[in-house]
Structures are given as structure tokens and as C-alpha cells.
């Protein structure tokens, strides 16, 4: 599944960020393939806000559709 499919409160793991530049940028902000994240907010039709500890990042919807993730079995907060 992709990042665009998560719901608010979901915990998930990032599997694959295909775009090179995006991968570099998220690496610097603290997120990489393998990071465990939480979906903090999902703006209808708009960006997904992910949270990692206290770090929040807004990711545009179509970019989110390209990022592969895996939901954690324990599910939501």
C-alpha cells in the first residue's frame, strides 16, 4: 500500500521512496526507508502529515501515492 492510503492515527513503516531527490531531502529531515512513522493528519484530497518523534512533515498527495509503506500490525494510536 502507499502513503496515500493511510488514515489519520495509523502507524506505519516506510518501504520505498522511488524519487532520488525526494529520498535525499527526506533523509536530511530525518526520514528514510525503514523509518517508523505516524500519520498525524490527512487533509482531504491534500497532503498527508507524517510525524516522527516531534518532527512533522507535510507530503503532497501525489507524492504520497508513490511512497510505499507497510502498516504496523498494532495499527493506530
Footprint on this chain of other proteins (rule: CB under 8 A): 20, 22-30, 32, 40-41, 43-47, 49, 52-63
Q: Tell me the closest approach of the beta carbon of residue 75 to other proteins, in angstroms.
A: 19
Q: Tell me the closest approach of the beta carbon of residue 53 to other proteins, in angstroms.
A: 6
Q: Tell me the closest approach of the beta carbon of residue 72 to other proteins, in angstroms.
A: 18
In the complex with other proteins, the residue whose CB is nearer, 61 or 72, is 61
SS3 call for 30: coil
Which of 77, 54, 57 lies closest to 14 in space, CA to CA?
57
Burial (Cβ within 10 Å: 0-12, 13-18, ≥19) of residue 24: exposed
Amino acid at each position: 500500500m502507499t502513503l496515500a492510503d493511510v488514515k489519520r492515527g495509523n502507524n506505519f513503516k516506510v518501504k520505498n521512496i522511488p524519487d532520488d531527490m525526494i529520498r535525499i531531502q527526506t533523509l536530511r529531515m530525518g526520514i528514510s526507508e525503514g523509518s517508523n512513522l505516524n500519520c498525524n493528519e490527512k487533509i482531504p484530497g491534500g497532503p498527508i502529515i507524517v510525524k516522527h518523534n516531534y518532527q512533522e512533515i507535510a507530503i503532497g498527495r501525489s507524492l504520497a501515492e508513490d511512497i510505499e509503506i507497510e502498516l504496523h500490525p498494532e495499527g493506530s494510536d
